[in-house]
Chains A and B, each alone.
Chain A
Amino acid sequence: MKAINNHYDVVIIGGGVVGSAIARELSKYKVNVAVLEKEDDVGWGISCRNSGVVHAGFNNKPGTLMARLCVEGNKSFKELCKQLDVPYKKIGKLVVAKKKEEIKGLQKLKQQGDTNSVDNLQIIDSYEVKKLEPNLVGMAALYSPETAITSPYLLTIALAENALNNGVSFFLNTEVKDVTRLNNSYFKITTNQGEFITSYVINSAGLYADFIARIAGIKKYRLYPCRGEYHILDKNASWLISHLIYPVPQAGAGGLGVHLTPTIDGNILVGPSNEYIRKKDDLSTTSQIMKMLSAEAREFLPLISSRDIIRSYSGIRAKQAPSSEGGYWDFVIQESATVNNFINLIGIESPGLTAVQPIAKRVVEIINKKERLDYNPSFNPFRKGILRFDEQEEETKPNLIKQDPDYGEIVCRCEKVTKKEILEAANNPLGARSLVSIKYRTRAMMGRCQGGYCQTRIMEILRESFKLSLQEITLKGKNSYLLTGYRSNKENKSCQKKKLLSLEEELLV
């Protein structure tokens, strides 16, 4: 979408979960907001790739923004998900000590949690661990009943859609190339899709926030990519655990350790690893880490087998701490000291997802202090997602099909996703059009056959819905074309039934 009227009050660079949450928060006021996102869809940086955990807040150093905003975010997360029609489940977490020496670490975590005002933390012994998780191997555990899970991609999409519905403009496939000051009041943002003029810039560019800051003249930030690889397990293995299972964290590590996450959709995630890498866009999985993940998972759950793995993927954390140091630096959420009205969000790694609403509120507060924003009376906090046919009550299903027969055609067999849901996903309000966009919105292609049955059907639906040429059907936008063209040459000689071609001349080889 080319910027026609390209003057905004606020431009948010980065359409991840943070940028979308800020957009939604701003749309509660009478502000003209645009979100610029370089990928084909929202959330394709860090937001869609993490474990989807709503942390309780005991992992974070007391007194930090991370700690405070995490606890705040955890407490209001259920309500946020309810408004946005995003799944949420408070399944609780066990941080498990496998050796006696690790129990001290559990006590430290509990202390930290208590200081941070996390509710209901308890240290339990091996007998109680066994009661909660019969298949688990562990000496003792810190039990956090307040830890929950959600869908990080559905949340990102929901925040963005609600912001869009409340008047925010989203520009996908829009990559920021330059940010310059026009005068004291305005910035000019140059992108591959045209220019934007704005009073405020919010830099929520995730992994590339340091780059965006730098092109605006702010050189003090540096982000180090720290990759986390995951395995996704077949739903047939889901009976193995019912809580989040974490190891006791190691000091100086880039992450929280290889854990087991029952996802809100019913799979188990194994991971993530944490590995400082050189290139920010290197999302490869590696053979050593994949083996390590399986081995570490089996230390907790001996019943896990590599035959349970249906897919492996990775996400990249934006870390401020260099690899020599590891660990966590606190969130940076502040207006630049040198560039007026330029607000930076730097290093929003875990618990960024949990803290997303408090983070957004904090950003709006920064602007509100300067501008005295007026409320938007028509702000609607509610957003309805795509109705999942398979999750409906049995009695309502026949009526749904009667109303719309497309509910009667199951396209993704593994996840039981209907054609109606695929169509709704394809026609999403943000205008995202790739296979992965449909995947995140419906779960199609996320099952054990990984698109073996549904991929061709979804491609066909995309092609018909948008009259795409074959090369325009993509996996994930940009260069990820799925087909090179038709097999046959489309300008063909027509063959009348009576007149058959004589082709002898053709065969002079």
Chain B
Amino acid sequence: MKREFICIICPKGCRISAEYEGTDIKNIIGDKCLKGKDYVKNEITNPLRIFTGSVLVENGDFPLVSVKTSSPIPKKYLKKIGEITRRIKVEAPIEIGQVVAKNLVSEDINLIATRKVNIINK
């Protein structure tokens, strides 16, 4: 299939076209630098994304803690991780950067908190 990508590496936003079948790249046109070409290649062969979402908190001054994966993960896992965030809970207090769940993919990637949640005295 053929698709036009908008490169997001730098603000130029070059339009790069690629022809590919699955992860097999036939050609790339319109790339103005190596980074752009690499971006499109990665998008086709192994697109990675940062997942952001939220997790329920127990005993916190906020009901939810926003979370993200500590580094980009394969795009195909995004929905699954979303589903997992609906099933877990964390206890307050929570600091920004605190690991909320770990080992989501084989390379030791974690869900970390992106919000400070203080403990509430009940």
Touch A–B, Cβ below 8 Å: yes
The 3 closest A-B pairs by CB, nearest first: A488-B86, A492-B89, A501-B101
Interface of A is mostly: loop
Residues of A within 8 A of B27 (CB): none
Any chain A CB within 8 A of the CB of B106? yes
Q: Are A509 and B77 in contact (CB under 8 A)?
A: yes
The interface on chain B, measured as residues whose beta carbon lies within 8 A of the other chain's beta carbons, has a size of 24
Residues of A within 8 A of B84 (CB): 503, 506
Nearest A residue to B85 via CB reads A488
Interface residues in A398-433 (C-beta closer than 8 Å to B): none
Seen from chain A, the residues whose Cβ lies within 8 Å of a Cβ on chain B are 487-489, 492-497, 500-504, 506-507, 509
Residues of B within 8 A of A502 (CB): 102-103
**How many A-B contacts at CB < 8 Å in the complex?**
56
Nearest B residue to A508 via CB reads B80
Closest chain B CB from A41 CB (angstroms): 30
Complexed CA–CA distance, A225 and B9 (Å): 60
Any chain A CB within 8 A of the CB of B1? no
Complexed CA–CA distance, A493 and B89 (Å): 6
User: Of B54, B80, B90, B102, which contacts A506 at CB under 8 A?
Assistant: B80
Scan B77-106; emit 1 where CB is below 8 A from any A CB, else 0: 100110011111111000000011111111
Q: Are B103 and A492 in contact (CB under 8 A)?
A: no
Q: Are B88 and A492 in contact (CB under 8 A)?
A: yes
Residues of B within 8 A of A501 (CB): 88, 101-102
Given contacts A493-B89, A495-B90, A506-B84, 18 further A-B contacts (CB under 8 A): A487-B54, A487-B86, A488-B56, A488-B87, A489-B86, A489-B87, A492-B87, A492-B89, A494-B89, A496-B91, A500-B99, A500-B101, A501-B101, A503-B103, A504-B105, A507-B77, A509-B77, A509-B80
User: Of B77, B91, B104, which contacts A495 at CB under 8 A?
Assistant: B91
Residues of B within 8 A of A503 (CB): 84, 101-104
User: Of A488, A494, A507, which contacts B80 at CB under 8 A?
Assistant: A507
Closest chain B CB from A509 CB (angstroms): 6
Complexed CA–CA distance, A503 and B69 (Å): 13
Closest chain B CB from A497 CB (angstroms): 5
Residues of B within 8 A of A500 (CB): 99-102
What are 25 A-B interface contacts by the 8 Å CB criterion? A487-B54, A487-B86, A488-B56, A488-B85, A488-B86, A488-B87, A489-B86, A489-B87, A493-B87, A494-B89, A494-B91, A495-B90, A495-B91, A495-B100, A497-B91, A500-B100, A501-B102, A503-B101, A503-B102, A504-B105, A506-B84, A507-B80, A507-B81, A507-B104, A509-B76
Any chain A CB within 8 A of the CB of B31? no
